[in-house]
Amino acid sequence: MSPSTVDTHCPYCALQCGMGLVALPTGGVEVVERTAFPVNRGALCGKGRTAPEVLARGARLTGPLVRGASGALEPAGWDEALDRVAEGLLRTRAAHGRDAVGVFGGGGLTNEKAYALGKFARVVLRTSQIDYNGRFCMSSAAAAHQRAFGLDRGLPFPLEDVARTGCVILVGSNLAETMPPALRYLTELRERGGKLIVVDPRRTRTAEQADLHLQPRPGTDLALALGLLHLALAEGYLDEEFIAERTNGWAEARPGVMAHWPELVERITGVPVPQLREAVRLFCSTPDGMVLTARGPEQQSKGTDTVSAWINLCLATGRAGRPLSGYGCLTGQGNGQGGREHGQKADQLPGYRKLDDPAARAHVAAVWGVDPDDLPAPGRSAYELLDALGVDVHALLLMGSNPVVSAPRAAHITERIASLDFLAVCDVVLSETAEMADVVLPVTQWAEETGTTTNLEGRVILRRKAIDPPPEIRTDLEVLHGLAARLGWEKGFPTDPEEVFDELRRASAGGPADYSGITYRRIAEEDGVFWPCPETPSTHPGTPRLFLDRFATPDGRARFVPVLHRPSAEEPSAEYPLYLTTGRVLAQYQSGAQTRRVRELNAASPGPFVQLHPQLAERLGVAEGDALAVTSRRGRAVAPALISSAIRPDTVFMPFHWPGEGRANNLTNPALDPTSRMPEFKVCAVRVEAAAAGA
């Protein structure tokens, strides 16, 4: 590293690739390779490489905006803008009570910001109504982790282990497009002789790399996992010793497994029995193996049970709690992991403590200097909070999220946002949600601020500031400090991220996600530190690999959870005969608020499309590029046809990065998983027709 290069990390996905930044004399930064960082070894995808373009003046907000008398957003000074926010929140609280003020965070916020936002909601606003968009990302896997292992960390091992195991089943993840540098772990796996099985309704770029691609109907991977375990049992692959010594609950889970015989599973999933047998043979005939899930199985109204079924497969075959074996979730958003550990989730306090646990409340209240009884109870989950806007939540402070594009049933949620008495948005760009705000507060970007994130491995890393922000831009911590002061909290909301992190360490001490032994200095010296890392002993090395000796349950044993297949909340019908599944493309990130502003990315992926099979296209009489209207029970979206044999004939796919008439989330179903409260983004029933016919 040259003295002028600042080591930092990409602002986007949960891989949190290491990169170097060099400040340019003309302003902005240049991205350079950071080969020493082990996760990506210098590799970056186009999103990370082009991230500096969003730092330019034309792409971003350059000063606060307030809604003027004309109804338009107008430039304002910081004092006026912060005064307006404080007044808006106070006015609502006075009129309707504390829980009429909501807070909505984001999985891209640093640990420091997520922590400060949760504290601000509970201590300053004293509202229970806080949640964040990470609920839409990985909450089903988190819930299943908790049920089986007593602890939720996306991957219980470093990514390097993926390259050295015997067989990986990758369920509902398109790594090649969502986090391309991670693909090398799968490539290395296969070069070493390991096997890769991909489960996806589409033959994605990732599935093309697989030794075996299973292409189930959307929403049926729970049955698929049960069917694989049934076959593993029938063919003598169970690890009875591991089940006896390290698990509980197999006897209760076994009947559900027995009920999913191969022919039934073929009928449910559409995956032929010989492929099921081949998958079991590949997975079980190596000494170790892993199952990795992502949004495919998780974003379902039975996402928690679906992930539990995959975990059961790991447990029954002894592929958990051992080196080079286990179940992991590939978290999506940049700080999806840390963001769910430190208090912006409706039911959580810092350190992954539970808000309804009296001991947790007492510990965190002592760090915050408040009475535990003054902390609110758990609040609503993300979709339920958004759905309550204008009904009994009348003011919202939103930080780092764009639900107008990213929420399910988005047209309805847009109406709910419009019905608020007051909306304040902190963001780096004028997102579609920020356009609706009464006050927009422009905040710094990754290259302009310091803070920690926790990547999908549970590795706490340090993003360092490389350049100063434009003069009229403030950090989110400065925003919270300014608001807290106006609401009577002169102290308790420092603006120095390291000071916030030190408080977070104290708040997390002794909790499941214990960061107390992690310091900025250690992160810098060690290329990140894996939690849990308690402060004592001070030499604690962090925990790259979890569960090798015991699971985090009270008795140290993992738990089988009995699960059964059930249909998705909405299955195809005569009126809506096709499945819709949604997801991401290589050149765009989440709601696209940042990446749609980058020329190269926009040129590569300028808009939405409807991917459909040639047989379906022929039946509908549509050609490549024809405008298609896709209609569900919730709304309609229009986008050009992309005809491809990579998708099942009974399914269409739409990416969700765009607003307007091609907004995929006009269609998606907000049916919630009963445990995780995750909406069912991944499957709903739709009708497809030429756009003119559907008008």
Smallest separation, CB 370 to ligand SF4 (Å): 37
**Between 49 and 540, CB nearer to ligand SF4:** 49
Smallest separation, CB 42 to ligand SF4 (Å): 11
The stretch among 39-47, 116-124, 456-464, 605-613 that binds ligand SF4 (CB under 6 A) is 39-47
552 binds ligand SF4 (CB under 6 A): no
**Between 40 and 581, CB nearer to ligand SF4:** 40
Smallest separation, CB 203 to ligand SF4 (Å): 21
The stretch among 43-51, 107-115, 511-519, 528-536 that binds ligand SF4 (CB under 6 A) is 43-51
How would you label 147-181 residue by residue, b for 16+ Cβ within 10 Å and e otherwise?
Answer: bbbbbbbbbbbbbebbbebbbbbbbbbbbbbbbbb
389 binds ligand SF4 (CB under 6 A): no
Q: How far is the CA of 586 from the CAs of 45, 47, 48, 206, 429, in angstroms?
A: 8, 8, 11, 12, 21
The C-alpha atoms of residue 21 and residue 30 are separated, in whole angstroms, by 6
The stretch among 7-15, 226-234, 293-301, 410-418 that binds ligand SF4 (CB under 6 A) is 7-15
639 binds ligand SF4 (CB under 6 A): no
12 binds ligand SF4 (CB under 6 A): yes
What residue is closest to ligand SF4 based on CB? Answer: 48
Smallest separation, CB 154 to ligand SF4 (Å): 14
The stretch among 41-49, 135-143, 268-276, 648-656 that binds ligand SF4 (CB under 6 A) is 41-49
Smallest separation, CB 10 to ligand SF4 (Å): 3
| Helical pair 111-119 and 497-508, crossing angle rounded to 10 deg | 70
Q: Contacting ligand SF4 (CB under 6 A), which of 13, 21, 398, 637?
A: 13
The C-alpha atoms of residue 38 and residue 160 are separated, in whole angstroms, by 9
Q: How far is the CA of 443 from the CAs of 64, 113, 427, in angstroms?
A: 9, 12, 6
**Between 47 and 153, CB nearer to ligand SF4:** 47
Q: How far is the CA of 511 from the CAs of 111, 363, 532, 645, in angstroms?
A: 15, 9, 9, 49
Smallest separation, CB 43 to ligand SF4 (Å): 8
**Between 45 and 148, CB nearer to ligand SF4:** 45
Pattern 238-257, binding to ligand SF4, x per CB under 6 A? --------------------
The stretch among 6-14, 355-363, 556-564, 681-689 that binds ligand SF4 (CB under 6 A) is 6-14
Assess contact for 207 and 171: CB atoms under 8 A.
no
> Is the peptide bond prior to 554 cis by the omega test (within 30 degrees of 0)?
no
Q: Are strands 326-329 and 290-293 parallel, antiparallel or unpaired?
A: parallel
Q: Site for ligand SF4 (CB under 6 A): how many residues?
A: 14
Q: Which amino acid is residue 432, in one-letter code?
A: E
Q: How large is the greatest C-alpha to C-alpha distance in the chain, in angstroms?
A: 74
The stretch among 14-22, 195-203, 336-344, 438-446 that binds ligand SF4 (CB under 6 A) is 14-22
Smallest separation, CB 137 to ligand SF4 (Å): 14
**Between 13 and 638, CB nearer to ligand SF4:** 13
Alpha-carbon torsion (366, 368, 369, 373), positive or negative = negative
Assess contact for 59 and 599: CB atoms under 8 A.
no
The stretch among 37-45, 132-140, 266-274, 605-613 that binds ligand SF4 (CB under 6 A) is 37-45
Smallest separation, CB 307 to ligand SF4 (Å): 22
The stretch among 42-50, 116-124, 311-319, 322-330 that binds ligand SF4 (CB under 6 A) is 42-50
Pattern 474-513, binding to ligand SF4, x per CB under 6 A? ----------------------------------------
Q: Which residues contact 461 (CB under 8 A, 6 or more apart)?
A: 9, 16, 18, 452, 453, 454, 455, 523, 527, 528
Smallest separation, CB 426 to ligand SF4 (Å): 22
The C-alpha atoms of residue 395 and residue 390 are separated, in whole angstroms, by 8
Q: How far is the CA of 502 from the CAs of 254, 342, 541, in angstroms?
A: 46, 13, 18
Judged by DSSP in three states, 213 sits in strand
The C-alpha atoms of residue 430 and residue 436 are separated, in whole angstroms, by 10
Could you give the residue ranges of the DSSP H alpha helices within 324-375? Answer: 336-339, 358-368
Nearest to 448 by CA among 49, 52, 34, 36: 52
Q: Contacting ligand SF4 (CB under 6 A), which of 6, 8, 10, 320?
A: 10
Smallest separation, CB 34 to ligand SF4 (Å): 11
Structure-derived torsion over alpha carbons of residues 9, 11, 12, 15, reported in degrees to the nearest 10:
20
Q: How far is the CA of 452 from the CAs of 515, 535, 695, in angstroms?
A: 11, 18, 48
Q: Contacting ligand SF4 (CB under 6 A), which of 6, 8, 17, 534?
A: 17
Smallest separation, CB 51 to ligand SF4 (Å): 7
**Between 15 and 253, CB nearer to ligand SF4:** 15
Smallest separation, CB 183 to ligand SF4 (Å): 10
Smallest separation, CB 452 to ligand SF4 (Å): 15
**Counting beta carbons within 10 angstroms of the beta carbon of residue 273, is it exposed (0 to 12), middle (13 to 18) or buried (19 or more)?**
middle
How would you label 522-546 residue by residue, b for 16+ Cβ within 10 Å and e otherwise?
Answer: bbeeebbbbbbbbbeeeebebbbbb
User: Where in 45-64 is the site for ligand SF4 (CB under 6 A)?
Assistant: 45, 47-48
**Between 504 and 586, CB nearer to ligand SF4:** 586
**Between 33 and 278, CB nearer to ligand SF4:** 33
Q: Which amino acid is residue 174, in one-letter code?
A: N
Reported as type and span, the H/E element at residue 34 is none
**Between 34 and 147, CB nearer to ligand SF4:** 34
User: Where in 138-197 is the site for ligand SF4 (CB under 6 A)?
Assistant: 179-181
**Between 158 and 262, CB nearer to ligand SF4:** 158
Enumerate the β-bridge partners of residue 365: none
Q: Contacting ligand SF4 (CB under 6 A), which of 8, 16, 293, 445?
A: 16
Q: Are strands 195-199 and 212-214 parallel, antiparallel or unpaired?
A: parallel
**Between 352 and 589, CB nearer to ligand SF4:** 589
**Between 52 and 321, CB nearer to ligand SF4:** 52
Assess contact for 68 and 374: CB atoms under 8 A.
no
Smallest separation, CB 208 to ligand SF4 (Å): 18
Q: Which residues contact 70 (CB under 8 A, 6 or more apart)?
A: none
44 binds ligand SF4 (CB under 6 A): yes
The C-alpha atoms of residue 80 and residue 64 are separated, in whole angstroms, by 9
Angle, CA 435 vertex, CA 431 and CA 436 arms, to 5°: 125
Please report, as ranges, the residues that interact with ligand SF4 according to CB under 6 A: 10, 12-13, 15-17, 40, 44-45, 47-48, 179-181
